[in-house]
């Protein structure tokens, strides 16, 4: 929880929450939960406080208390900026959402923007931009040039840095204004724009200032795990890519199932069979698939799948 969302507006409640955080940082989660309960007696409508209580209750082994606190968060904040519905699903107290709440994803990356590059690259051994770029160039040729590359979910622009030399024009799209600001600082994109990839193509923002069927390459480096069942994403990419255009993207490996899995990290993992089906439904032919460790999470390697596909030569409907 970050400061713009966490303050209750009540000095006594905030002080107790600060003490609770200190207990939690020492691993004393039961004591932290007790202090948060005291804080919430002062400000019972504090959604962020209930979310923090849920975290402490869960870590102290009180699953029912965590569930009750999360249900309170959803009731107080129907937009679900904290992703409480995702946590309820992970705890087995609710159905898995088809996709995460857009306000949650936007807040997550706005809050993360300033430390994103350092956290991922230096601390979590994040390699997707480099490995995805290599996969494209391995297929297309090391000296290949693409007329227009559309980097969807571009984040702070790490893939753009890797691929700038191979694009005559490079466009980046992201939900988070904070991420787009960081991408702009890298000065590698010809255009940056806000877009919500969870919306249908006509509403997402991908076509606000540009025609359909325009991209020679669409990239999505480490973004699809925040988009759930991908029901809108692949059709949008199919409309964005020109006939014969390429689509390069990564997912967390969801194993041998046939549907996305919501993990405790609150990211979705996608099985290979599910992705193959989505590609076929949207008019793509799979060209290449690589398996790779894409980052570390809590010290453990996260297995990923990197795909390269081609849009059917016939124009999309």
Asked if residue 105 is part of any domain, the answer here is: no
Count of domains forming the chain: 2
Asked if residue 52 is part of any domain, the answer here is: yes
End position of a domain, from candidates 95, 124, 149: 95
The pTM (predicted TM-score) of the whole model is: 0.91
pLDDT tens-digit profile, the chain (317 residues): 334 457 888 899 999 999 999 999 999 999 999 999 999 999 999 999 999 999 999 999 999 999 999 999 999 999 999 999 999 999 999 999 999 999 999 999 988 788 777 777 666 778 899 999 999 999 999 999 999 999 999 999 999 999 999 999 999 999 999 999 999 999 999 999 999 999 988 888 898 888 899 999 999 999 999 999 999 999 999 999 999 999 999 999 999 989 999 999 999 999 999 999 999 999 999 999 999 998 888 788 999 999 999 998 764 44
3-state class (DSSP) for residue 230? coil
Q: Which residue has the tokens 């997402």?
A: 204
Both 71 and 137 in a single domain? no
Both 9 and 157 in a single domain? no
Asked if residue 316 is part of any domain, the answer here is: no
Both 90 and 124 in a single domain? no
Both 128 and 72 in a single domain? no
Asked if residue 101 is part of any domain, the answer here is: no
Among residues 72, 78, 76, the alpha carbon closest in space to that of 54 is found at 72
Q: Are 288 and 138 in contact (CB under 8 A)?
A: yes
Q: Are 175 and 197 in contact (CB under 8 A)?
A: yes
Both 114 and 172 in a single domain? yes
Both 145 and 282 in a single domain? yes
Q: Are 127 and 295 in contact (CB under 8 A)?
A: yes
Both 54 and 29 in a single domain? yes
Range of the domain at 82: 3-95
Among residues 222, 33, 245, 5, the alpha carbon closest in space to that of 116 is found at 222
Helices (H), 47-186: 47-59, 63-76, 84-90, 102-112, 116-117, 128-140, 158-163, 177-186
Both 258 and 164 in a single domain? yes
Both 222 and 292 in a single domain? yes
Both 46 and 188 in a single domain? no
Both 124 and 77 in a single domain? no
Both 138 and 84 in a single domain? no
């Amino acid at each position: 929880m970050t400061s713009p969302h966490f303050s209750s507006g009540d000095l006594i409640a905030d002080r107790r929450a600060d003490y609770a955080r200190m207990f939690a940082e020492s691993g004393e989660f039961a004591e932290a939960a007790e202090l948060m309960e005291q804080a919430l007696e002062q400000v019972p409508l504090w959604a962020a406080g209930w979310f923090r209580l849920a975290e402490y209750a869960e870590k102290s082994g009180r699953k029912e208390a965590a569930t009750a606190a999360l249900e309170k968060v959803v009731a107080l904040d129907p937009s679900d900026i904290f992703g409480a519905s995702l946590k309820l699903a992970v705890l087995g107290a609710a159905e898995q959402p088809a996709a995460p709440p857009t306000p949650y994803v936007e807040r997550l990356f706005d809050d993360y923007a300033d430390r994103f590059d350092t956290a991922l690259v230096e601390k979590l051994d994040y390699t997707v931009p480099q490995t995805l770029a290599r996969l494209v160039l391995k297929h297309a040729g090391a000296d290949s040039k693409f007329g227009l590359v559309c980097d969807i979910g571009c984040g702070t622009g790490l893939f753009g840095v890797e691929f700038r030399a191979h694009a005559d024009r490079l466009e980046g799209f992201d939900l988070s204004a904070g991420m787009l600001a960081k991408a702009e600082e890298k000065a590698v994109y010809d255009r940056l724009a806000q877009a919500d990839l969870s919306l249908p193509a006509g509403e997402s923002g991908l076509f606000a200032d540009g025609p359909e069927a325009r991209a020679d390459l669409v990239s999505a480096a480490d973004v699809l795990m925040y988009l759930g069942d991908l029901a809108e994403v692949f059709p949008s990419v199919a409309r964005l890519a020109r006939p014969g255009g390429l689509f390069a993207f990564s997912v967390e490996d969801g194993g041998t199932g046939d549907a996305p899995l919501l993990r405790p990290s609150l990211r979705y993992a996608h099985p290979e069979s599910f992705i193959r089906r989505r590609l076929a439904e949207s008019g793509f032919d799979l060209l290449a698939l690589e398996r790779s460790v894409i980052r570390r999470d809590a010290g453990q390697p996260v297995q990923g799948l990197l795909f390269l596909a081609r849009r059917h030569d016939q124009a999309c409907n």
